[in-house]
Structure 1
Amino acid sequence: VSIARTCNCMYALLQQRQRDIEFRESTNDLRQRMQSDISRLEAKIERMDAQLAAKDRELATLTRTEAKNTAALKAHIEKLQQERDEFQKMVIGNQQVRTQQIHETKKKEKEYIKLQEKLNQVLMEKKKESSRSGMEIMNLLQKEGRQRGTWTGKKNDNDYYKMIVDAYEVKKQELVQENADLRALLRSMQMDMREFLNAPTGSSQPAVAGNGRQEAGSPQSPLGGKTDVFDLPFHMARDQIEESLRTKMASVKARMTQLQDAQKGAEVTSEVTERELELEAQLVEARSIIQEQV
């Protein structure tokens, strides 16, 4: 009995020993796995610390960049506001100048038409007066010629010739006066055309005549040459005056074309308004960006 009990005890001890060995092995495996996990976790913690430091540096860099961008954006917004204000002032000034130029152009055009009509009227009246004066002299000569047959003395002949000379002198004085009035009218037209052609149009280019020559400034009159050209005999100044008148008419047409182009330029105002709206939209967008960043 004691041998069997002893064997049973030894068998129980062996089983316990086997269980202890297995438990020890499993414990060692678990400890190794845990050490390996701890090593991996420590390495991961180191990596996370490095990443955290890098993110901190990146955050600091982004903060500085954001501050710079905010300052630059504010400066850009202020610049855009200044440009918008200057642009609005320029648009308003251009509109006022264009309106004034169009008004002055219409006024000068009406004055030019009136002067041209007046000149034509004076020329027609001069032609009528010339024909009427010639008829009067012929009638006077015919009347006196019919009465001359009743004259008997030399005195009557002298009176007849004196009458003819007096009538001629009177008519000559009338023609001289009409000529002076016509010269004065031409000078007046010259001054009006000079003011019209030299009026500012907002363009830096001088008016170009029909023959391709540029108009001069104040030293030359709009009719070409100096103002004393009207004091010359008509047969000497005729070609010069006619050529200058043609040149000035071409200049007037060119000026009217420029003014029409300037009037068409008023349509640019709509484009200016669109540009202004775009600037305002940019300002609103920039402000919203600043508010989001702040």
Structure 2
Amino acid sequence: MGPQSKRTRSIRTFELYISSNLVPPHFKFPHKLKIASHLFVSFSLSFSLAMATAPPQFDLRVPGSQSIGNSDNAFANADNLEHCAKYLNQTLVTYGFSASLDLFATDPVSIARTCNCMYALLQQRQRDIDFRESSNDLRQRLQSDISRLEAKIERLEAQIAAKDRELASMTRTEAKNTAALKAQIDKLQQERDEFQKMVIGNQQVRTQQIHEMKKKEKEYIKLQEKLNQVLMEKKKESRSGMEIMNLLQVDAYELKKQELMQENADLRALLRSMQADMREFLNAQNGLSQDPQQISEANGRQNGSPQTPLGGKTDMFDLPFHMARDQIEESLRTKMASIKARMTQLQDAQKGAEVTTEATERELELEAQLVEARSIIQEQASIMSKHFTKSDKPRRLNLGGETDGTDV
């Protein structure tokens, strides 16, 4: 590195030091003042460096060992006094000292002028010496500051390199995280699409099941009407044949009646148990938002126990079938509608949480019991109709025999 490049780097380092240490961070130089300050700093530093690197011939201090009267290096001698005096006068005037001096005069005024000029030169020499010393001190301080700033620059460059490496590492990490996040977002979108497809499929299946259930209910109503019609036709056809039945079948009829009564009692108990289970299931589903008093009132309304002639209440399952049939069917249909509504709610709630296996088994068991109860009701209806048909014939025969005896 040459002297000029080192000087340029030193000037730039000193400018950085001045701008970072001498000027407060919040103070903003105007443009011209900032340029002037930089020029002044550069000029001062250049002058100090020039003074430091000046050759020895510009040293204004005369060494004490040098003799003024040395003839070899003397400025003036006896031969060139006039020429030397003329040169000195011109030089003094050029540098702004007093008027021309008469070095050969003997009058006091000329001698005083010469003394004043010499005194001014001595003062100027003293000022030059002081300025040189202060410049040397300033140069040493600036060199120390420059060295410190160069070390600081190297340290800052190392920190910048470390920060660049850290930034590159963070950039790579961010790119990896961005890629992972994008992959996760794509995966979640795929899962969302699959879930939406599953929900749409479940809704279609649910709609189809509801349609099939309505269709089966309509078929059930048609079959029931057809069965009633067939029973009425058979009843009309067999009314004439029942009048000539053998009275010996009474014992078998009584035995069959007892069996039917026992079976009817079992069926009534089964219906009570099924209704109790259905009531417990419905109350278990709705009991979180009701108090015990409301639940007991609801149970009382669901039981629908009619008033007896004596003022008490009896269970509807203890009534004859033709009296309690509509009420039983209405109660069962009401509970079935509640179960269907609950099933619909559970299917809708299946989006947020899975229904427990125990509740599902309970619902399936209730549905099986409901189907069994319907079949039992149908069988009971057919048996009761047959029973009523058979009981009408002996009654008519008895009435006919009593009439004959009266006539006799």
Normalised-by-shorter TM-score class: 0.3 to 0.5
Shift, 1:233, TM fit: 21
Shift, 1:22, TM fit: 1.6
Change (3 A) 1:122 1:60: same
Identity of aligned residues (%): 91
Tell me the alpha carbon deviations over residues 143-198 of structure 1, each in whole angstroms, 9 at most, x when there is no partner. xxxxxxxxxxxxxxxxxxxxxxx999999999999999999999999999999999
Question: CA–CA distance in 2 between the matches of 1:247 and 1:114?
Answer: 20
Tell me the alpha carbon deviations over residues 58-106 of structure 1, each in whole angstroms, 9 at most, x when there is no partner. 2111121122113202311321232133123212321221221122111
Change (3 A) 1:138 1:195: farther
Change (3 A) 1:267 1:99: farther
Change (3 A) 1:5 1:121: same
Change (3 A) 1:126 1:178: farther
The 8 Å contact of residues 190 and 222 in structure 1, kept in 2 or not, is answered as: no
Please say which structure displays the higher CA radius of gyration: 2
* TM-score (norm. length: structure 1): 0.44
Choose from 299, 303, 310 the match for 1:211.
299
Shift, 1:221, TM fit: 36
Shift, 1:53, TM fit: 1.5
What is the DSSP-based 3-state SS (H/G/I as helix, E as strand, rest coil) of the residue aligned with 1:32? helix
The 8 Å contact of residues 84 and 279 in structure 1, kept in 2 or not, is answered as: no
Shift, 1:128, TM fit: 3.6
RMSD of equivalent CA atoms: 19.3
The 8 Å contact of residues 194 and 221 in structure 1, kept in 2 or not, is answered as: no
What is the DSSP-based 3-state SS (H/G/I as helix, E as strand, rest coil) of the residue aligned with 2:323? helix
* TM-score (norm. length: structure 2): 0.34
| Matching residue of 1:85 | 193
What is the DSSP-based 3-state SS (H/G/I as helix, E as strand, rest coil) of the residue aligned with 2:165? helix
Question: CA–CA distance in 1 between the matches of 2:379 and 2:245?
Answer: 103
Choose from 123, 130, 133 the match for 1:15.
123
The 8 Å contact of residues 112 and 192 in structure 1, kept in 2 or not, is answered as: no
Change (3 A) 1:220 1:275: closer
Higher mean displacement: 9-18 or 181-190: 181-190
Shift, 1:291, TM fit: 71
Question: CA–CA distance in 2 between the matches of 1:64 and 1:57?
Answer: 11
Change (3 A) 1:275 1:227: closer
Change (3 A) 1:281 1:108: closer
What is the DSSP-based 3-state SS (H/G/I as helix, E as strand, rest coil) of the residue aligned with 1:203? helix
Shift, 1:29, TM fit: 3.3
Question: CA–CA distance in 2 between the matches of 1:32 and 1:288?
Answer: 117
Question: CA–CA distance in 2 between the matches of 1:52 and 1:39?
Answer: 20
Change (3 A) 1:232 1:122: farther
The 8 Å contact of residues 268 and 317 in structure 2, kept in 1 or not, is answered as: yes
Change (3 A) 1:42 1:169: closer
Tell me the alpha carbon deviations over residues 267-290 of structure 1, each in whole angstroms, 9 at most, x when there is no partner. 999999999999999999999999
Shift, 1:108, TM fit: 0.8
Change (3 A) 1:196 1:127: farther
Tell me the alpha carbon deviations over residues 237-285 of structure 1, each in whole angstroms, 9 at most, x when there is no partner. 9999999999998999799878997999999999999999999999999
What is the DSSP-based 3-state SS (H/G/I as helix, E as strand, rest coil) of the residue aligned with 1:267? coil
Question: CA–CA distance in 2 between the matches of 1:234 and 1:280?
Answer: 23
| Matching residue of 1:193 | 278
Question: CA–CA distance in 2 between the matches of 1:288 and 1:33?
Answer: 114
Shift, 1:48, TM fit: 1.9
Change (3 A) 1:189 1:292: closer
The 8 Å contact of residues 112 and 193 in structure 1, kept in 2 or not, is answered as: no
Provide structure 2 residue ranges, at least 5 long, that are not aligned to the other structure.
Answer: 1-108, 291-297, 381-407
Pairs aligned (count): 264
Kindly indicate which of the two structures has a greater share of residues assigned to helix: 1
The 8 Å contact of residues 183 and 230 in structure 1, kept in 2 or not, is answered as: yes
Question: CA–CA distance in 1 between the matches of 2:235 and 2:379?
Answer: 87
Provide structure 1 residue ranges, at least 5 long, that are not aligned to the other structure.
Answer: 143-165
Shift, 1:56, TM fit: 0.8
Higher mean displacement: 181-190 or 103-112: 181-190
